[in-house]
Structure 1
Amino acid sequence: MKSTTIRYLFLLLFTLGVVCPIIAQTPDNTFVNGDLLPNSPELSVRGTYGVGVRTLTVVHKDQVDVLHQKDGKHPLYDRSLTLEVWYPARLPADKPAVVTYESVFGIANNPNRPLVPFTFTGRASRDAEPDITSGAYPLVIVSHGYLGSRLLMTYLTENLASKGYVVVAIDHMESTYRDAAGFPSTLLNRAFDDLFVLNEMARLSAKGSKSFLSGLLNADNTALIGYSMGGYGALNATGAGFSPQAVKTFGQLAQGSTALEVRSMDSPAYKASLDPRIKAVVAFAPWGMERGMWDAKGLAGLTLPTLFVAGSKDDISGYEKGIKAIYDGAVNADRYMLTYLNARHNVAPNPPPASLIPGVSPDEYMHYAEPAWNERRLNNINQHFVTAFLGIHLKKMDYAKYLNLPETDAAGPWTGFKPRMSVGMEMRHAKP
């Protein structure tokens, strides 16, 4: 090919916005989760803050052990929750921000899918000095699916921290790859874990706490982000009380236990548990509607601004009778729903690891993969829309133009997207 032809092709690609921006690379010259593809939308770019990351453990004492009973009663136990915290940080200009995350393939106690460790790279600096020059930052709490881990969405957690948020992702005890246990624990504990972590972040951020979080975050300005069972828990934590059918189903799964009643819409204690410090919710593929976990009364209890993200062919949470039915039923919330056409359930996680360890089950790849979408593109689009949504509700930024879109791009590209690059999606918006 002649050099003039090559130059013309490059100029054409640049004009169309298809030339990849220059990104600082890791020492081994690879790209990592969250880096921008050439067709990434406008707000997916990282912010101006350096990103630090630390690991904490908090213990929620004296919780109901729903997986065990004695004489018809549940004992109490302590729930140990490992947290990964990303935050704005002061980084040396001459030192690249690179961190190695440690995760596992497989499922605990499952001989067909044994635990196999693997590592992947992120763009953060372990134990870096917090940047307190901008005052206290909004708090974002992230809840994974069943099964999952606190590291399932690092492309998004790092991105948000670079934009001036403190982001805390939870390893939900008995619901991770490493400690998988009975499903009733996940059904009961998700909202309790979220609210406990909010309280812990408020405590650790108080002046004089001797934590690195002291003065770093504003727990009175919080958002919840949940994926799958994390979305289930986030919705319940913020007003969508469970139905009588949910309580009955839980009892059938948990040897007649009534422990879920306190999270039901009919419980006198439920409304009292709702926390006014939470200002917004992002629910990726929330599970439960097809199983009757909510009815009209419960969905009407959701009043916070909510962004739903769904695949139109979700075969885990369901779409028409699942996620879209939640969106339609949340009649008292200012809500958006982004739909990836032909996507299934995996619209939120990091991409599949670049290379699977020989001998690892293909099921591990499928846990991350989307059959009809490039996962890195999904990640970039999620970064864009979550940035817009949280920017509006936690930072009072003028980002409405990025969300108030026509349902499709039939009349032209969506605001913030390069030409020809907003196909395959739908955006809905409904107000109370």
Structure 2
Amino acid sequence: MRLAALVLALVLAPLAGRAQPLADAPALSAPGAYAVGVRTLTFANPGQPDLLASDLANGKIARRDRVLPVTVWYPTAKPKAGAAVVRYMQPGTTPAAPPVFYRTGGAYPDAAPVSGQHFPLVVLSHGYRNWATSFADLAENLASKGYVVASIEHRDLEPKTLANPQLSFATTLITRVADQRFVIAELTRTAGEGPLRDVYDPDDIALVGYSMGGFGALTTLGAGLDPQGPLYKLAPFDLLKPFTTLDPDFAAGLPKGVKAMVALAPWGGAPPLRAWSAEGLAQVSVPTLLVVGDQDDVSGYDPGVAWLYANLAGADRRMLVYENARHNIALDGVTPAQAGDFKEIERHEEPVWRRDRILAINRHFITAFLDQNLKGDGAHGAYLAVPTPRAADGTWSLAPGASVGDRLAGPDDANTADYWPGFQRRWALGLRLLHAAPGSPPDAPR
């Protein structure tokens, strides 16, 4: 059955303009059976703080409607021959600057969605100074498998364009959680109307965040910021108070339909700007997948994301670790035009890992995690049950001179029971996957 599904995916993938999966990609990384449509929705969150327009010296905080474009990928029917695929645009460095084309995608702009099946909804939140479509590889892949993926354009301010560059990060701190909660609420409210009417299920949601998006996701889903912590003091005039338990509306504002969280290299766990207390993190109760490089020098590993994993004690959580990877374990990577620019490579790539390999592994594990928690798919969830925390410790014995070619280990295959399911022999390497149930002590991060 696995072979049949893979063949179907390979046949249908070109119909959606998507690249065929790598020959060494793990089992669940291949695209699904649906072609993918894409469109942009726009929401406006009224009365949000605007630090740039504020008189901070006199404590006067200006407020305005915060406009949030949201790029949405969704299953669509087979397109007509010759249908144009999307051209992804990177926002300009200032609000007035025009967007810049950077990559051709595999989705079809404004195609009619498959309606009436109420697909699970995935809300995606990018990192600091990234943009909504910089995770298009994952978004298109999930949409092809029967998800609706809504990626928020947070419009982070470019520090070099500001008279006071510190206002860029301060603005991000006070908007990430508000943006996420507002967009989830709006998508929930409008599920029965507009161009995506009856396409997704507002009671079956996952929140996926990278870096500052991961910081937002943890707080959005219940980890109130520590009002005594060092991070709280960075935002002026108690503007972070709504995201702490000091605010009586914080717990009441938890999104009701979110059933799972994926936090990719989430920022905020490491000193000196640790955002939460251990008690605050323990309030998160949704199943959680953390993904991190053990050499992450932005979010930190230990202390950092491994500390988050240890203290998310109220959640069933897993942590996928890329050995010898730094912070860039989520982005789509540089374009060919950027390949000669080290600044772009340093911002988007990894010094050790292949980008296509990272993307394939992320698709595999995120698919398994979301299918298990949003679709109740135990067969795909079984790919999370690895026999050894460290991939290199798995064994797949063969007789002398024997070969298995490109065969994948299977979760129900007794001959590969001691090897990571979904991977080819010799190819499950450089990874760790840890698991802890709610209330139980976590596996050791190393």
Q: TM-score, normalised by structure 2?
A: 0.83
1:402 partnered with 2:402: no
Which residue is equivalent to 2:102?
119
Give the CA deviation at 1:26.
9.5
Give the CA deviation at 1:96.
5.9
1:331 partnered with 2:313: yes
1:325-404 aligned at under 5 Å gives the runs: 325-356=307-338, 362-398=342-378, 399-404=380-385
Contact 1:115 1:178 in 2 (8 A): no
Q: TM-score, normalised by structure 1?
A: 0.85
Contact 2:15 2:35 in 1 (8 A): no
Q: Which residue of 57, 77, 86 corresponds with 2:73?
A: 86
- Deviations 1:53-88 (CA, angstroms, capped at 9, x unpaired): 001221111112244236413121111111110001
Cα distance change of structure 1 residues 271 and 203 upon mapping to structure 2, 3 Å threshold: closer
Which residue is equivalent to 2:408?
none
Q: Which residue of 161, 185, 188 corresponds with 1:199?
A: 185
Q: Which residue of 219, 223, 236 corresponds with 1:240?
A: 223
1:422 partnered with 2:428: yes
Give the CA deviation at 1:223.
0.5
Contact 1:147 1:177 in 2 (8 A): no
Contact 2:205 2:259 in 1 (8 A): yes
1:73 partnered with 2:60: yes
Which residue type is aligned with residue 149 of structure 1? W
Give the CA deviation at 1:198.
1.1
3-state SS of the aligned residue for 2:133? coil
Q: Which residue of 23, 28, 31 corresponds with 1:38?
A: 23
- Deviations 1:362-410 (CA, angstroms, capped at 9, x unpaired): 3122211111100111000000001000001111111232112120231
3-state SS of the aligned residue for 1:308? strand
Contact 1:149 1:177 in 2 (8 A): no
Aligned residue pairs, count: 396
Which residue is equivalent to 1:294?
276
1:155-304 aligned at under 5 Å gives the runs: 155-175=137-157, 182-206=168-192, 209=193, 211-246=194-229, 249-251=231-233, 253-254=234-235, 256-290=236-270, 291-304=273-286
Moved more, 38-47 or 115-124: 115-124
Cα distance change of structure 1 residues 429 and 77 upon mapping to structure 2, 3 Å threshold: same
Cα distance change of structure 1 residues 202 and 315 upon mapping to structure 2, 3 Å threshold: same
Q: Which residue of 43, 48, 52 corresponds with 1:58?
A: 43
Give me the identity figure in percent.
39
Distance 2:259 2:250 in 1: 18
- Deviations 1:286-335 (CA, angstroms, capped at 9, x unpaired): 00111210111111111110000000000000001000000001111100
Distance 2:136 2:64 in 1: 30
Cα distance change of structure 1 residues 125 and 317 upon mapping to structure 2, 3 Å threshold: same
1:146 partnered with 2:128: yes
Contact 2:94 2:157 in 1 (8 A): no
Distance 1:343 1:45 in 2: 23
Give the CA deviation at 1:93.
5.5
Which residue type is aligned with residue 54 of structure 1? R
**Uncovered stretches (5+) of structure 1, i.e. residues with no partner:** 1-16
Contact 2:87 2:101 in 1 (8 A): no
- Deviations 1:182-229 (CA, angstroms, capped at 9, x unpaired): 2111111111111111122123221xx3x1111111111111000000
Give the CA deviation at 1:100.
1.4
Which residue is equivalent to 2:114?
131
Moved more, 215-224 or 261-270: 261-270
Distance 1:178 1:49 in 2: 42
Moved more, 137-146 or 196-205: 196-205
- Larger relative contact order (CA 8 Å, sep ≥ 6): 1
Distance 2:200 2:247 in 1: 32
Give the CA deviation at 1:351.
2.0
Distance 2:90 2:296 in 1: 25
**Uncovered stretches (5+) of structure 2, i.e. residues with no partner:** 1-5, 396-418, 439-446
